[in-house]
């Protein structure tokens, strides 16, 4: 994203050649950093794989609208991380996989600076994992691969913004909520997100459908529709966990 949603990032600083010359990153399979993240930003290229595991919805308004995978039905809950902090879905969103790295962006969105969350437990100066810089101060192959990943992510984000703009311009989004009952009979719910109105979409004129097809938005819309089947399993999982919080609002 153009870093409007920091979520689990805590101590983000720009990566500097001198300051971080000896910094290494040890990445494992521990996803504890995201265990309180209920909604995870997505980019369009992820819709195909994400639609097999998560409901894909839209959060925010106007230029801040973005697609997200729902991972929990209340604030501070991620139902896809188990007690051992493992990710239990087949697909792990790119927003999660890129951690602890993130881009900071200037107001004009013309300059991107690679940053790192120094609170990430894998940050160390003991040589464990992958170094960011070589002894001569040049970028390591690992850092180059991170930059390539981040550049690809940013490009996909821009394309996803186009999808969100098309949805807004054609007034296809509508608020949605989902309810469930806990084992003790209490009713809970999740709200604060939008989905595409299927009937409005089907009623679009043929030339507009063709436009969606040509810019690849049509495929993404159908992946969104397909992902709605994941709401019921998610709600069942939430009900089994017996949450006690009142109705939740999806974080924007």
Separation between Cα atoms, residue 28 and residue 49, nearest integer Å? 22
* pLDDT value for 27: 86
251 SS3 class: coil
**Measuring CA to CA, which residue among 87, 193, 96, 215 is closest to residue 149?**
96
Mean pLDDT of 175-203: 84
CB atoms within 10 A of CB 37: 25
Domain boundaries, the chain: 12-244
Mean pLDDT of 234-238: 86
Model confidence pLDDT, tens digit, residues 237-250: 887 775 444 444 45
- What is the DSSP secondary-structure string of 159-195? HHHHHHHHHHHTT-EEEEEEEEE-TTS-EEEEEEEEE
Separation between Cα atoms, residue 133 and residue 119, nearest integer Å? 19
Model confidence pLDDT, tens digit, residues 113-159: 999 999 999 999 999 999 999 999 999 999 999 999 999 999 999 99
**Measuring CA to CA, which residue among 7, 52, 8, 3 is closest to residue 157?**
3
């Amino acid at each position: 994203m153009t870093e409007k949603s920091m979520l689990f990032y805590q101590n983000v600083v720009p990566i500097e050649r001198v300051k971080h010359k000896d910094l290494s990153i040890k990445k494992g399979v521990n996803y504890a950093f995201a265990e309180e993240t209920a909604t995870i930003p997505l980019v369009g290229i992820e819709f195909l794989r994400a639609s097999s595991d998560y409901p894909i919805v839209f959060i925010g308004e106007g230029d801040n609208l973005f697609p997200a995978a729902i991972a929990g039905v209340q604030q501070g809950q991620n139902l896809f991380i188990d007690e051992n902090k493992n990710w239990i879905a087949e697909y792990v969103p790119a927003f999660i996989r890129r951690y602890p790295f993130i881009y900071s962006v200037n107001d004009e969105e013309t300059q991107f600076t690679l940053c790192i969350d120094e609170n990430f437990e894998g940050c160390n100066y003991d040589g464990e994992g992958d170094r960011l810089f070589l002894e001569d101060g040049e970028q390591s192959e690992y850092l180059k691969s991170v930059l390539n990943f981040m550049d690809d992510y940013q490009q996909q984000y821009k394309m996803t913004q186009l999808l969100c703009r098309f949805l807004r311009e054609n007034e296809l989004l509508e608020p949605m909520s989902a309810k469930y009952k806990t084992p003790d009979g209490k009713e809970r719910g999740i709200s604060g997100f939008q989905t595409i109105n299927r009937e409005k979409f089907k009623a679009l004129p043929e030339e507009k459908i063709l436009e969606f097809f040509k810019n690849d938005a049509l495929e993404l819309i159908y992946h969104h529709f397909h992902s709605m089947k994941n709401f019921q399993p998610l709600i069942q999982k939430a009900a089994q966990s017996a949450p006690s919080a009142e109705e939740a609002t999806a974080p924007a």
